[in-house]
Structure 1
């Protein structure tokens, strides 16, 4: 079952950040639809992964999940 999770994330500022977060999530769910909004500081992921796992993957890339 696919759910859409929107996370508030600090520390993302460039294309590398977008790529790192997107690839981390897609490594565990290749069908995930990931959208990163640098200006808003959000990551939206439509995925079969639970929200906690998506947040952990973002944090493992070095970013702070605040919401």
Structure 2
């Protein structure tokens, strides 16, 4: 179920919806900087891989858009 939710946010973000992109990027940042509990306790390995994949896609798209403008 989580994968479906993240996929929906990623699809919306790739369509240019800033709130969806911000949500995904914030989730990734929380996972990377969380000091309260390890990221592995928050998401299982598969969910973390899905989130990292979409974060990489978003980063690549925003980087490409920045170079074209």
TM-score (norm 2): 0.30
Structure showing the higher helix proportion among its residues? 2
TM-score (norm 1): 0.31
Structure showing the higher strand proportion among its residues? 1
The higher relative CO (CA closer than 8 Å, separation ≥ 6) is in: 1
